Chain A
Amino acid sequence: MRRLLWPLLVLAALLAVNLFFTPSFFSVEMKEGHLYGSLIDILRFGAPLILVSLGMTLVIATGGIDLSVGSVVAISGALACLRISEDGGVLSAVVLALGLCVLLGLWNGFLVAGVGIQPIIATLILMVAGRGLAQLITDGQIITVNSPSFKVIGGGYLLTVPFGILLVLVVLGVTAFLTRRLALGVLIESVGGNAEASRLAGIRSRGIVITVYAFAALCAGVAGLMIASNVSSADGNNAGLWIELDAILAVVIGGTSLAGGRFSLGGTVLGALIIQTLTTTIYSVGVPPETTLLVKALVVAAVCLVQSPKFRDKVFRRAGPRASSRPAAEEKVRVTA
């Protein structure tokens, strides 16, 4: 919990900035029979990023990285919209799209664990080729679908709450249960710590690695459906573009080490929320588009610095500076979701 303190503070600070510029920022009201407000927007538009980041967290925990998730997002949305525009069967389209995503994830896992290619290269293949595949599916066009039931996934509501948020809660709950209540999380961390030693200790590290890549692709697939559903159209060129970088950033802000061996799901969710809140803040406050990227970079740099115990010790020079940082590093990771 202590490790999540700084990301939490940053999130609170960002929200406070909004309150200053937009006094009604925290108000959530009922409109058209559903919840409506800036906070809901942050959760709703942040939902795809949270999903992709959850998958990325487990991949990074095994010491890997998955650059292909953005392309998988595009493929998933493209295939689903193509099927729906052809015969209108939403369920079959969703199943087909997610099935293909799992296959693509298995391919990534096979390249990494089966063939032994470095993860960054193995997934770079699908990152480049996958974008092309998405464009091939959509024929370079934007496919518009008019299906109320498909619209529910990313733009609909269940019991006044945006469906996407509920979907994220379910995926988060299942992931947290599998990795923290069952042994899977420990196995993943063990593979990330030392794959060879884990294998010798009797863990099927190859199977674990393939599973996490498939899971990451599945998460990306669901995110792709959400993004496509939200605007009722598939855009093979732009859907999920650079989302892999945001996801990696969310994971890192959340305190998961890029070296693998440990992870924090709660931290990742916070990280993704910080990124989305930052984006929304930039729109609401009215930062000119030319300086948007600079503002983002400054905030991210500040977040990373403030999270570094060494940096804090140097800057704040508290009486017992080292005492505060060391236990935090050794603290057992707990799920806070």
Chain B
Amino acid sequence: MLVVAGLAAATLTGCGGGGGGSGSGGGDGSITMGFSQVGAESGWRTANTKSVQESAKAAGITLKFSDAQQKQENQIKAIRSYIQQKVDVIAFSPVVESGWDTVLKEAKNAKIPVILTDRAVDSKDTSLYKTFLGSDFVEEGRKAGKWLVEQYKDAKDPVNIVELQGTTGSAPANDRKAGFQEVVGADPKFRIVASQTGDFTRAKGKEVMEAFLKANPDIDVLYAHNDDMGLGAIEAIEGAGKVPGKDIKIITVDAVHDGMQALADGKINYIVECSPLLGPQLMDLAKKVVKNESVPARVVTEETTFTQEQAKTALPSRKY
């Protein structure tokens, strides 16, 4: 297996070395990008795909798009085929963190720059890719925590918080938990009385919240790692005869359409955006790396936060 990969790399080096000059040095500004997407597992991901496709068109970049259907081997195949097609730049959202060294070395040998989007790889050799464009999940957790601290700055009584975590072990779940903890942990009046995983789904969010409500009669705040779990929890809260947004304050992350609607309706109090619309930033970065300009090793997606008032204004023009 290794021998084959090595041979492939050697052959590709030869091809890439010859073709690199003609491909990117054209000077006419036309750029070809190979993009390998994780899959189409959620509305968030679909919006992400659309954003990349639309902004490529707008930026005049020829996009070769492939969907890996959540499988790393598909993604490696796609990247190899982009190398063979001598694209100018490769961008991809890695399905998993590890196992990319070989194929990324092949791209490097072929002198094709690589941009990571949305998810990182754990490769020690950071020269294998130019930059990583994506959300900072820890910062999202911090933003949620800061709003809460601001809301309760005058409160003397303890604030009982329950947390609905994302899928156990996933980067967004770990980081959103850590960022939130970092901010609210500074003040002992904030107490996280229960924290369980809701697997990022509405059904689990509702089921877990039902149990929380029975085990902890006095809940002040719910922090959910995504909108969907928050939406499920809202139903549980309503079923318990409490008013979501008033009796229990709700903070979520993502800002998908249904979440924004609930925010505008007053059922959620605050949403930290985790934007999938990183297409325009990606195209800017692609143009820079093709021209060999220097780019920062880490670019954070432009993201904001929404209060109920802001949601009402923003809702009509939301794309997802």
Contact = CB atoms under 8 A, between A and B. Distances in A.
A41 B202 contact: no
A70 B2 CA distance: 39
Given A45-B207, A142-B43, A231-B231, A32 B214 contact: no
Contacts of A142: 42-43, 202, 228, 258
Interface range, A side: 35 or more
Contacts of A21: 215
Contact of B208 (A230, A237, A283): A283
Contact of B46 (A31, A140, A230): A140
Interface in A11-34: 21-22, 24-25, 31-32
A31 B241 contact: yes
B239 A36 contact: yes
A34 to B, nearest CB: 8
Interface in A28-69: 31-32, 36-38, 41, 45
Nearest to A24: B214
Dominant secondary structure at the B interface = helix
Of A142, A155, A239, most B-chain CB atoms within 10 Å? A142
Contacts of A135: 40
B196 A283 contact: yes
B201 to A, nearest CB: 5
Contact of A231 (B41, B200, B202): B202
Interface in B113-165: 165
Given A140-B42, A142-B202, A284-B214, A31 B258 contact: no
Nearest to A18: B215
A237 B41 contact: yes
A46 to B, nearest CB: 10
Nearest to B49: A140
Interface stretch (A105-113, A210-218, A286-294, A297-305): A286-294
Contact of A289 (B196, B200, B215, B258): B196
Interface in B225-272: 228, 231-232, 235, 239-241, 258
B175 to A, nearest CB: 15
A189 interface: no
Contact of A290 (B168, B211, B240): B168
Contacts of B207: 41, 45, 279, 283
Nearest to A276: B207
21 contacts: A36-B239, A37-B214, A139-B46, A140-B40, A140-B42, A141-B43, A141-B46, A142-B42, A142-B202, A142-B228, A155-B235, A155-B239, A231-B206, A235-B202, A239-B203, A283-B207, A283-B208, A283-B212, A284-B214, A285-B215, A286-B215
Interface of B: 40-43, 45-46, 165, 168-169, 194-197, 199-203, 206-208, 210-212, 214-215, 228, 231-232, 235, 239-241, 258
Given A144-B258, A279-B207, 6 more contacts: A22-B214, A38-B211, A45-B210, A235-B228, A280-B211, A289-B195
Interface of A: 21-22, 24-25, 31-32, 36-38, 41, 45, 135, 139-142, 144, 155, 227, 230-233, 235, 237-239, 279-280, 282-286, 288-290, 292
